[in-house]
Amino acid sequence: MDERRPGYCLEAPFYLSDEFYRRDIDAVFAATWIFAAAAAEVPEPGDFVTIDIGDYSVIIIRDDDEEIRAHHNVCRHRGARLLSETNGSVGNIVCSYHQWTYSPEGDLMSAGVQAPGFDRTCFSLRSVNVRVVAGLVFICLAHNPPEDFAEVAQRISPYIQPHALNKTKVAAQVDLIEHANWKLVMENNRECYHCEAGHPELTCTFFPTYGYAPDEIPKRLKPAYQRYLDAEERLRVNSERNNLPTQLIAELSGRATGFRIERAALDGKGESYTMDGGAASAKLLGELDTPELGRLSMHTQPNAWFHFMGDHAVTFSLIPLGPDTTRVRSTWLVHEDAVEGVDYDVENLTTVWVKTNEQDAALCAKAHRGISSPAYVPGPYAPTESDLEEFCTWYIERLQAHRAQTDVQQA
Protein backbone atom coordinates (compact mmCIF):
# COMPACT_ATOMS: atom_id res chain seq x y z
CA MET A 1 0.00 0.00 0.00
CA ASP A 2 2.94 2.35 0.55
CA GLU A 3 4.01 1.85 -3.05
CA ARG A 4 0.73 2.82 -4.63
CA ARG A 5 1.31 4.89 -7.76
CA PRO A 6 -0.87 8.04 -7.60
CA GLY A 7 -3.13 8.52 -10.61
CA TYR A 8 -3.24 4.81 -11.39
CA CYS A 9 -5.62 1.95 -10.60
CA LEU A 10 -4.67 -0.31 -7.72
CA GLU A 11 -2.52 -3.42 -8.08
CA ALA A 12 -4.43 -6.67 -8.64
CA PRO A 13 -4.23 -8.13 -5.09
CA PHE A 14 -6.23 -5.19 -3.72
CA TYR A 15 -9.16 -6.37 -5.84
CA LEU A 16 -8.64 -10.13 -5.80
CA SER A 17 -7.08 -11.46 -2.63
CA ASP A 18 -8.79 -12.90 0.42
CA GLU A 19 -6.23 -11.11 2.57
CA PHE A 20 -7.23 -7.67 1.28
CA TYR A 21 -10.91 -8.58 1.54
CA ARG A 22 -10.46 -9.37 5.24
CA ARG A 23 -8.37 -6.24 5.68
CA ASP A 24 -11.05 -4.15 3.95
CA ILE A 25 -13.64 -5.40 6.42
CA ASP A 26 -11.42 -4.59 9.42
CA ALA A 27 -9.84 -1.35 8.22
CA VAL A 28 -12.73 0.13 6.27
CA PHE A 29 -16.14 -1.39 6.92
CA ALA A 30 -15.64 -2.04 10.64
CA ALA A 31 -13.71 1.18 11.23
CA THR A 32 -15.62 3.94 9.45
CA TRP A 33 -19.20 5.20 9.36
CA ILE A 34 -21.18 3.31 6.74
CA PHE A 35 -24.63 3.99 5.36
CA ALA A 36 -26.96 1.21 6.50
CA ALA A 37 -30.55 2.16 5.59
CA ALA A 38 -33.02 4.96 5.18
CA ALA A 39 -35.00 5.63 8.35
CA ALA A 40 -38.10 5.10 6.19
CA GLU A 41 -37.15 1.41 6.00
CA VAL A 42 -38.07 1.08 9.68
CA PRO A 43 -41.12 3.38 9.93
CA GLU A 44 -42.84 1.85 13.00
CA PRO A 45 -41.65 0.73 16.46
CA GLY A 46 -40.35 -2.83 16.17
CA ASP A 47 -39.52 -2.54 12.46
CA PHE A 48 -35.99 -3.74 11.77
CA VAL A 49 -33.44 -4.39 9.07
CA THR A 50 -30.35 -6.54 9.47
CA ILE A 51 -27.08 -5.88 7.74
CA ASP A 52 -24.17 -8.34 7.53
CA ILE A 53 -20.65 -6.93 7.24
CA GLY A 54 -17.99 -9.64 7.01
CA ASP A 55 -18.59 -11.81 10.09
CA TYR A 56 -20.57 -9.06 11.82
CA SER A 57 -24.33 -8.87 11.74
CA VAL A 58 -26.18 -5.78 12.96
CA ILE A 59 -29.84 -5.20 13.80
CA ILE A 60 -31.17 -1.72 13.10
CA ILE A 61 -34.49 -1.31 14.85
CA ARG A 62 -36.90 1.47 15.76
CA ASP A 63 -37.67 1.33 19.47
CA ASP A 64 -40.89 2.13 21.32
CA ASP A 65 -39.84 5.78 21.69
CA GLU A 66 -39.37 5.96 17.88
CA GLU A 67 -35.59 6.15 18.24
CA ILE A 68 -33.48 4.12 15.86
CA ARG A 69 -31.08 1.75 17.61
CA ALA A 70 -28.38 -0.60 16.37
CA HIS A 71 -27.37 -3.81 18.13
CA HIS A 72 -25.04 -6.67 17.36
CA ASN A 73 -27.19 -9.55 16.13
CA VAL A 74 -25.70 -11.90 18.72
CA CYS A 75 -27.52 -13.41 21.69
CA ARG A 76 -25.87 -12.71 25.06
CA HIS A 77 -26.58 -16.28 26.21
CA ARG A 78 -24.62 -18.56 23.91
CA GLY A 79 -24.20 -16.33 20.95
CA ALA A 80 -26.89 -17.46 18.53
CA ARG A 81 -27.83 -15.21 15.61
CA LEU A 82 -31.03 -13.51 16.77
CA LEU A 83 -32.72 -12.30 13.59
CA SER A 84 -32.13 -14.12 10.32
CA GLU A 85 -34.46 -12.11 8.09
CA THR A 86 -33.11 -9.07 6.26
CA ASN A 87 -36.10 -7.02 7.45
CA GLY A 88 -39.34 -7.40 9.34
CA SER A 89 -41.16 -6.34 12.46
CA VAL A 90 -41.03 -7.67 16.02
CA GLY A 91 -42.53 -6.81 19.40
CA ASN A 92 -39.39 -7.94 21.19
CA ILE A 93 -36.29 -9.66 19.88
CA VAL A 94 -36.60 -13.31 20.90
CA CYS A 95 -33.71 -15.75 20.50
CA SER A 96 -35.06 -18.91 18.90
CA TYR A 97 -32.53 -21.09 20.76
CA HIS A 98 -33.53 -20.74 24.44
CA GLN A 99 -35.92 -17.78 24.13
CA TRP A 100 -33.92 -15.07 25.83
CA THR A 101 -36.01 -11.99 25.06
CA TYR A 102 -34.72 -8.48 24.41
CA SER A 103 -36.63 -5.21 24.04
CA PRO A 104 -36.06 -3.13 20.87
CA GLU A 105 -33.84 -0.96 23.12
CA GLY A 106 -31.65 -4.05 23.61
CA ASP A 107 -32.48 -4.70 27.27
CA LEU A 108 -32.74 -8.32 28.35
CA MET A 109 -36.36 -8.72 29.47
CA SER A 110 -36.48 -12.41 30.33
CA ALA A 111 -34.06 -15.31 30.41
CA GLY A 112 -35.99 -18.19 31.93
CA VAL A 113 -34.68 -19.75 35.12
CA GLN A 114 -31.15 -18.64 35.99
CA ALA A 115 -28.79 -19.16 38.93
CA PRO A 116 -29.26 -16.98 42.02
CA GLY A 117 -27.55 -13.63 41.54
CA PHE A 118 -28.11 -13.56 37.79
CA ASP A 119 -28.36 -9.89 36.83
CA ARG A 120 -30.34 -9.29 33.64
CA THR A 121 -28.96 -5.77 33.31
CA CYS A 122 -25.51 -7.21 32.61
CA PHE A 123 -26.71 -8.97 29.47
CA SER A 124 -28.19 -6.29 27.27
CA LEU A 125 -27.46 -6.61 23.57
CA ARG A 126 -24.12 -5.10 22.61
CA SER A 127 -24.86 -1.82 20.94
CA VAL A 128 -23.45 -0.46 17.70
CA ASN A 129 -22.84 3.25 17.12
CA VAL A 130 -25.72 4.70 15.14
CA ARG A 131 -26.51 8.16 13.89
CA VAL A 132 -29.50 9.31 11.86
CA VAL A 133 -28.68 12.21 9.53
CA ALA A 134 -31.70 13.87 7.90
CA GLY A 135 -33.44 10.51 7.59
CA LEU A 136 -30.37 8.43 6.65
CA VAL A 137 -29.08 5.81 9.10
CA PHE A 138 -25.32 5.44 9.45
CA ILE A 139 -23.61 2.92 11.72
CA CYS A 140 -20.05 2.42 12.88
CA LEU A 141 -18.73 -0.83 14.35
CA ALA A 142 -15.60 0.74 15.83
CA HIS A 143 -15.23 1.25 19.58
CA ASN A 144 -14.02 4.75 18.85
CA PRO A 145 -15.79 5.89 15.70
CA PRO A 146 -14.24 8.65 13.59
CA GLU A 147 -15.14 11.93 15.27
CA ASP A 148 -15.31 13.94 12.06
CA PHE A 149 -18.65 12.36 11.19
CA ALA A 150 -20.48 14.85 13.43
CA GLU A 151 -19.10 17.73 11.39
CA VAL A 152 -19.99 15.99 8.11
CA ALA A 153 -23.53 15.41 9.39
CA GLN A 154 -23.84 19.07 10.26
CA ARG A 155 -22.66 20.15 6.79
CA ILE A 156 -24.79 17.79 4.70
CA SER A 157 -28.01 18.10 6.72
CA PRO A 158 -29.07 21.52 5.30
CA TYR A 159 -28.80 20.05 1.80
CA ILE A 160 -30.94 16.97 2.56
CA GLN A 161 -33.45 18.29 5.12
CA PRO A 162 -35.65 20.10 2.54
CA HIS A 163 -36.37 16.71 0.96
CA ALA A 164 -38.03 15.67 4.26
CA LEU A 165 -36.97 12.01 4.19
CA ASN A 166 -38.71 11.56 7.55
CA LYS A 167 -41.99 11.90 5.64
CA THR A 168 -41.19 9.35 2.94
CA LYS A 169 -41.92 5.67 2.44
CA VAL A 170 -40.16 2.92 0.53
CA ALA A 171 -41.73 2.56 -2.92
CA ALA A 172 -39.28 -0.04 -4.19
CA GLN A 173 -36.07 -1.80 -3.20
CA VAL A 174 -33.80 -3.94 -5.38
CA ASP A 175 -30.75 -5.95 -4.34
CA LEU A 176 -28.24 -6.70 -7.05
CA ILE A 177 -25.40 -9.17 -6.56
CA GLU A 178 -22.43 -8.01 -8.59
CA HIS A 179 -19.54 -10.30 -9.50
CA ALA A 180 -16.82 -7.78 -8.81
CA ASN A 181 -14.76 -6.49 -5.92
CA TRP A 182 -16.52 -3.72 -4.00
CA LYS A 183 -13.83 -1.17 -4.91
CA LEU A 184 -14.48 -1.73 -8.61
CA VAL A 185 -18.16 -1.05 -7.96
CA MET A 186 -17.30 2.17 -6.14
CA GLU A 187 -14.80 3.23 -8.79
CA ASN A 188 -17.36 2.62 -11.50
CA ASN A 189 -19.82 4.79 -9.60
CA ARG A 190 -17.35 7.64 -9.18
CA GLU A 191 -16.99 8.36 -12.89
CA CYS A 192 -19.26 8.90 -15.85
CA TYR A 193 -16.53 8.40 -18.45
CA HIS A 194 -18.39 5.20 -19.38
CA CYS A 195 -21.91 6.71 -19.33
CA GLU A 196 -22.16 7.89 -22.93
CA ALA A 197 -21.49 4.41 -24.32
CA GLY A 198 -22.85 2.34 -21.47
CA HIS A 199 -26.01 3.98 -20.11
CA PRO A 200 -28.62 4.95 -22.74
CA GLU A 201 -31.39 5.30 -20.13
CA LEU A 202 -29.31 7.33 -17.67
CA THR A 203 -28.07 9.74 -20.32
CA CYS A 204 -31.66 10.73 -21.14
CA THR A 205 -31.30 12.98 -18.09
CA PHE A 206 -27.71 12.79 -16.78
CA PHE A 207 -25.58 15.27 -18.67
CA PRO A 208 -22.69 13.46 -20.39
CA THR A 209 -20.49 16.46 -19.65
CA TYR A 210 -20.10 15.36 -16.00
CA GLY A 211 -16.45 15.40 -14.96
CA TYR A 212 -15.23 17.63 -17.79
CA ALA A 213 -13.75 21.06 -17.10
CA PRO A 214 -15.60 23.69 -19.22
CA ASP A 215 -12.60 24.20 -21.50
CA GLU A 216 -12.22 20.45 -22.04
CA ILE A 217 -15.72 19.72 -23.33
CA PRO A 218 -15.35 17.64 -26.52
CA LYS A 219 -16.94 19.14 -29.63
CA ARG A 220 -19.62 16.44 -29.87
CA LEU A 221 -20.81 17.36 -26.35
CA LYS A 222 -21.06 21.14 -26.94
CA PRO A 223 -24.86 21.04 -27.59
CA ALA A 224 -25.38 19.06 -24.38
CA TYR A 225 -23.17 21.53 -22.53
CA GLN A 226 -25.29 24.46 -23.73
CA ARG A 227 -28.46 22.66 -22.54
CA TYR A 228 -26.68 22.06 -19.23
CA LEU A 229 -25.88 25.77 -18.82
CA ASP A 230 -29.52 26.71 -19.53
CA ALA A 231 -30.79 24.06 -17.10
CA GLU A 232 -28.31 25.21 -14.44
CA GLU A 233 -29.70 28.75 -14.69
CA ARG A 234 -33.28 27.51 -14.18
CA LEU A 235 -32.04 25.35 -11.32
CA ARG A 236 -30.33 28.34 -9.70
CA VAL A 237 -33.58 30.34 -9.73
CA ASN A 238 -35.66 27.43 -8.39
CA SER A 239 -33.12 26.57 -5.71
CA GLU A 240 -32.88 30.14 -4.48
CA ARG A 241 -36.67 30.39 -4.19
CA ASN A 242 -36.75 27.12 -2.21
CA ASN A 243 -33.74 28.10 -0.04
CA LEU A 244 -31.75 25.09 -1.21
CA PRO A 245 -27.98 25.06 -0.88
CA THR A 246 -26.32 24.06 -4.15
CA GLN A 247 -22.62 24.62 -3.62
CA LEU A 248 -20.32 21.69 -4.30
CA ILE A 249 -18.45 20.30 -1.29
CA ALA A 250 -15.92 17.65 -2.26
CA GLU A 251 -13.79 16.23 0.54
CA LEU A 252 -13.46 12.64 -0.55
CA SER A 253 -10.00 12.02 0.90
CA GLY A 254 -7.74 13.38 3.60
CA ARG A 255 -10.30 12.69 6.32
CA ALA A 256 -11.85 9.62 7.95
CA THR A 257 -15.34 10.44 6.66
CA GLY A 258 -14.92 11.30 3.00
CA PHE A 259 -17.91 12.82 1.24
CA ARG A 260 -19.08 14.84 -1.73
CA ILE A 261 -22.35 16.70 -2.18
CA GLU A 262 -23.74 19.05 -4.83
CA ARG A 263 -26.97 20.00 -6.56
CA ALA A 264 -26.81 19.90 -10.35
CA ALA A 265 -29.21 20.15 -13.26
CA LEU A 266 -30.76 17.20 -15.06
CA ASP A 267 -31.38 17.04 -18.81
CA GLY A 268 -34.83 16.65 -20.42
CA LYS A 269 -37.54 18.11 -18.21
CA GLY A 270 -34.94 18.47 -15.48
CA GLU A 271 -37.15 17.02 -12.79
CA SER A 272 -36.22 13.43 -12.14
CA TYR A 273 -34.41 10.28 -13.22
CA THR A 274 -37.03 9.06 -15.68
CA MET A 275 -36.85 8.41 -19.39
CA ASP A 276 -38.07 11.93 -20.24
CA GLY A 277 -36.83 13.68 -17.11
CA GLY A 278 -40.36 14.29 -15.85
CA ALA A 279 -41.31 13.78 -12.20
CA ALA A 280 -42.03 10.14 -11.33
CA SER A 281 -44.21 10.98 -8.33
CA ALA A 282 -46.95 13.61 -8.32
CA LYS A 283 -46.49 14.35 -4.59
CA LEU A 284 -43.39 16.46 -4.12
CA LEU A 285 -41.13 15.95 -1.12
CA GLY A 286 -41.27 18.31 1.85
CA GLU A 287 -42.40 21.85 1.08
CA LEU A 288 -40.69 21.99 -2.33
CA ASP A 289 -42.74 24.07 -4.76
CA THR A 290 -41.49 22.66 -8.07
CA PRO A 291 -40.17 19.33 -9.31
CA GLU A 292 -37.56 21.08 -11.44
CA LEU A 293 -34.77 20.92 -8.89
CA GLY A 294 -32.33 18.66 -10.73
CA ARG A 295 -30.50 16.21 -8.54
CA LEU A 296 -28.92 16.66 -5.14
CA SER A 297 -26.20 14.03 -5.37
CA MET A 298 -24.10 12.81 -2.46
CA HIS A 299 -21.36 10.24 -2.04
CA THR A 300 -20.19 8.99 1.31
CA GLN A 301 -17.09 6.82 1.64
CA PRO A 302 -16.90 3.87 1.67
CA ASN A 303 -20.21 2.48 0.56
CA ALA A 304 -22.99 4.81 -0.51
CA TRP A 305 -24.32 7.28 -3.03
CA PHE A 306 -27.61 9.12 -3.14
CA HIS A 307 -29.77 11.21 -5.45
CA PHE A 308 -32.45 13.47 -3.97
CA MET A 309 -34.91 14.99 -6.42
CA GLY A 310 -38.01 17.15 -5.95
CA ASP A 311 -40.33 14.16 -6.27
CA HIS A 312 -38.35 11.22 -4.88
CA ALA A 313 -35.01 10.05 -3.53
CA VAL A 314 -32.86 7.02 -4.31
CA THR A 315 -30.29 5.59 -1.93
CA PHE A 316 -27.62 3.12 -3.01
CA SER A 317 -25.42 1.14 -0.67
CA LEU A 318 -22.97 -1.66 -1.19
CA ILE A 319 -21.67 -4.36 1.09
CA PRO A 320 -18.80 -6.68 0.09
CA LEU A 321 -19.80 -10.34 0.30
CA GLY A 322 -16.36 -11.62 -0.66
CA PRO A 323 -13.34 -10.51 -2.71
CA ASP A 324 -15.29 -10.96 -5.95
CA THR A 325 -18.91 -10.44 -4.86
CA THR A 326 -20.71 -7.26 -3.84
CA ARG A 327 -24.31 -6.58 -2.93
CA VAL A 328 -25.71 -3.29 -4.20
CA ARG A 329 -29.02 -2.23 -2.65
CA SER A 330 -31.13 0.48 -4.32
CA THR A 331 -34.06 2.00 -2.44
CA TRP A 332 -36.59 4.43 -3.90
CA LEU A 333 -38.35 6.78 -1.47
CA VAL A 334 -41.48 8.76 -2.27
CA HIS A 335 -43.71 11.03 -0.20
CA GLU A 336 -45.42 8.98 2.53
CA ASP A 337 -48.86 9.99 1.19
CA ALA A 338 -48.11 9.15 -2.45
CA VAL A 339 -50.32 6.34 -3.68
CA GLU A 340 -48.97 3.70 -6.04
CA GLY A 341 -50.91 3.64 -9.31
CA VAL A 342 -52.28 7.12 -8.64
CA ASP A 343 -49.30 9.35 -7.83
CA TYR A 344 -46.52 7.11 -9.10
CA ASP A 345 -45.86 4.01 -11.14
CA VAL A 346 -43.07 1.77 -9.83
CA GLU A 347 -41.75 0.88 -13.28
CA ASN A 348 -41.53 4.52 -14.33
CA LEU A 349 -39.92 5.37 -10.98
CA THR A 350 -37.27 2.65 -11.11
CA THR A 351 -36.47 1.97 -14.78
CA VAL A 352 -33.50 4.28 -15.19
CA TRP A 353 -31.57 3.01 -12.19
CA VAL A 354 -32.59 -0.63 -12.54
CA LYS A 355 -31.24 -0.62 -16.11
CA THR A 356 -28.21 1.49 -15.20
CA ASN A 357 -27.29 -0.74 -12.27
CA GLU A 358 -27.56 -3.86 -14.42
CA GLN A 359 -25.34 -2.25 -17.05
CA ASP A 360 -22.86 -1.22 -14.35
CA ALA A 361 -22.87 -4.74 -12.92
CA ALA A 362 -21.89 -6.16 -16.32
CA LEU A 363 -19.10 -3.58 -16.72
CA CYS A 364 -17.75 -4.20 -13.21
CA ALA A 365 -17.77 -7.97 -13.76
CA LYS A 366 -15.75 -7.45 -16.95
CA ALA A 367 -13.28 -5.27 -15.06
CA HIS A 368 -12.92 -7.91 -12.34
CA ARG A 369 -12.36 -10.66 -14.89
CA GLY A 370 -9.76 -8.58 -16.70
CA ILE A 371 -7.89 -7.73 -13.53
CA SER A 372 -7.82 -11.45 -12.66
CA SER A 373 -5.47 -12.05 -15.61
CA PRO A 374 -1.74 -12.24 -14.78
CA ALA A 375 -1.31 -9.81 -17.71
CA TYR A 376 -3.07 -6.99 -15.83
CA VAL A 377 -1.05 -3.91 -14.97
CA PRO A 378 -2.70 -0.81 -13.43
CA GLY A 379 -3.56 1.86 -15.98
CA PRO A 380 -3.87 5.65 -15.54
CA TYR A 381 -7.05 7.46 -14.58
CA ALA A 382 -8.38 9.95 -17.14
CA PRO A 383 -8.91 13.60 -16.09
CA THR A 384 -12.67 12.92 -15.77
CA GLU A 385 -11.86 10.15 -13.28
CA SER A 386 -10.44 12.40 -10.57
CA ASP A 387 -12.99 11.14 -8.03
CA LEU A 388 -11.52 7.64 -8.45
CA GLU A 389 -8.14 8.95 -7.48
CA GLU A 390 -9.78 10.51 -4.41
CA PHE A 391 -11.49 7.23 -3.58
CA CYS A 392 -8.28 5.18 -3.88
CA THR A 393 -6.33 7.77 -1.90
CA TRP A 394 -8.95 7.64 0.87
CA TYR A 395 -8.93 3.84 0.80
CA ILE A 396 -5.15 3.63 1.15
CA GLU A 397 -5.29 6.23 3.94
CA ARG A 398 -7.74 4.02 5.82
CA LEU A 399 -5.53 0.92 5.42
CA GLN A 400 -2.54 2.88 6.64
CA ALA A 401 -4.45 4.30 9.60
CA HIS A 402 -5.60 0.81 10.55
CA ARG A 403 -2.06 -0.55 10.26
CA ALA A 404 -0.74 2.25 12.47
CA GLN A 405 -3.41 1.53 15.07
CA THR A 406 -2.68 -2.20 14.97
CA ASP A 407 1.05 -1.51 15.36
CA VAL A 408 0.36 0.62 18.47
CA GLN A 409 -1.85 -2.08 19.97
CA GLN A 410 0.81 -4.73 19.39
CA ALA A 411 3.68 -2.59 20.75
User: Which residues of this chain interact with ligand FES, rule CB under 6 A?
Assistant: 75, 77-78, 80, 95, 97-98, 100
Please, which residues bridge with residue 305 across strands? 299, 316
| Residue whose CB is less far from ligand FES, 81 or 269 | 81
| Residue whose CB is less far from ligand FES, 77 or 269 | 77
Q: Quote the CA–CA distance of 255 and 289 in Å, as a whole number.
A: 36
CB of 100 to ligand FES, least distance (A): 4
Q: Within 10 A of 244 (CB to CB), how many other CB atoms are there?
A: 22
CB of 93 to ligand FES, least distance (A): 10
Q: Quote the CA–CA distance of 91 and 203 in Å, as a whole number.
A: 45
CB of 125 to ligand FES, least distance (A): 11
CB of 52 to ligand FES, least distance (A): 18
Identify the helix (H) or strand (E) that includes residue 242. Answer: none
CB of 399 to ligand FES, least distance (A): 35
| Residue whose CB is less far from ligand FES, 80 or 365 | 80
| Residue whose CB is less far from ligand FES, 95 or 160 | 95
| Residue whose CB is less far from ligand FES, 110 or 127 | 110
| Residue whose CB is less far from ligand FES, 5 or 98 | 98
Output the DSSP codes for 172-223: EEEEEEESS-HHHHHHHHT--TTHHHH-TTGGGTS-TTTT--GGG--GGGHH
CB of 98 to ligand FES, least distance (A): 3
CB of 56 to ligand FES, least distance (A): 17
Using alpha carbons, select from 119, 24, 103 the residue that is nearest to residue 71: 103
Identify the helix (H) or strand (E) that includes residue 261. Answer: strand 259-264
| Residue whose CB is less far from ligand FES, 112 or 223 | 112
Q: Which H, E and C letters describe 7-76, residue by residue?
A: CECCCHHHHHCHHHHHHHHHHHHCCCCEEEEEHHHCCCCCEEEEEEECCEEEEEEECCCCCEEEEECECC
The beta strand positions in 265-357, using DSSP E, are 295-300, 304-308, 312-322, 325-335
Cβ atoms of residues 138 and 34 within 8 Å: yes
